[in-house]
Amino acid sequence: MDRLWVRFSVIIGSFTLAIILLVVGSIIVLNRAEFIVFVDNAATEKPEKGDVDSPLDFVDDISFNGGFQLHDVPEGLAALTVLVGVVGVTLGVWLSRGLSTPIVTLSEAAKQIGSGNLKQRVPVHQHSHELDELARSFNRMAADLEHGEEARNNMLADISHELRTPLTVLSGQLRAALDKVVPLDEEELANLYGQTQHLIHLVDDLRLLAQAEAHQLKLTISSVSLAELWQELEANFSLVAAEKGIRFQVESMDGLPHLSADHGRLRQVFSNLLANAIRHTSAGGKITVSSAVKDGTVYLIIQDSGEGIAPEQLPHLFDRFYRVDTSRARDTGGSGLGLAIVRALVEMHHGEVSAESAGINKGSTFTVRLPM
């Protein structure tokens, strides 16, 4: 019985059959029964004249016995009818308990989840297809809530850490300037300004991510020429790559179609990916940008010959505040939000982004897929 409606049908049928059999058995018994009065013969002998004071004395001496007597009823029919009725009731009660037990378990588990116990799960006992699927859905929901709570706690911890560092630097430098320990010259002011810009950039990134994940970030959709967009990006990043001694090559994008997209957000996506590639590619390395169109999808591929990525790090690469090399994060200026923003903006355009790498010091490849 792997279907819920089958269980309901059997329960209703069992109770109905039991009631019918009990009623039929009762009717059979009553229709075949006759109340018989037995009189004690010894007590019915006529008394001699003068032995009784009144007629009632004679009646008092008579002994009456009575009872039901069945006629023409097959042997054991009544007993069999009652037995089958009792079995039907028992079967109905047993199935009802089997149906109600998982529902009660789900109710109790829901109360536990509501009270904050996100580790609560319900067993899957193969009661019925619907109840088992409900239990699995409940467990998936509980797991998602637990994962979301862990992610929220981790995010708060990361944000606290990210904000604490530049704020601590700012506070220390300002205290030193107030105490005349460090002169507040142009160099020191530039350092303070850099810390404030880092804070502003971090807050803006966090706000953008929060809006994107809450589906509240508005896109300004227009017809975007990918060829023109990459001409602009090539002009901007060629100078940055040249300063670091990196060869930067963008293959022809003339054959790419126009997309209905947000020009500014797409530029932000590719700018973050190019900045990431330059940050993790040493002097003498190379960055190549290529494209392709297949099955109604535009592929933009950014390949570098830089530090590469370990296989175990690839699944976490687009998580918030995740850094491949935490020891160099401050020196390289990364906040750990750039790739998370890339994924959020690409998904808002109904696209996908992925990363591949053959390993450490073997370069990496980032692919953005956008629907036409």
Between CA 43 and CA 46 the distance in angstroms is 9
Between CA 290 and CA 138 the distance in angstroms is 45
Give the number of other CB atoms < 10 A from CB of residue 289: 22
Instruction: Flag the least confident range among 23-37, 176-190, 241-255.
Output: 23-37
Which CATH fold topology does 221-371 show?
Heat Shock Protein 90 (3.30.565)
Q: CB within 8 A of 19, min separation 6: which ones? A: 85
207-237 pLDDT, tens digit per residue, is: 888 788 777 788 899 999 999 999 999 988 9
Q: Which two tokens stand for residue 267?
A: 């530029």
115-163 pLDDT, tens digit per residue, is: 777 788 777 776 667 777 777 888 888 888 877 777 677 667 767 777 7
pLDDT for 225 equals 93
pTM exceeds 0.75, yes or no: no
Residues 226, 227, 229, 230, CA torsion sign: positive
The full set of domain ranges for the chain reads: 4-130, 153-213, 221-371
pLDDT for 177 equals 82
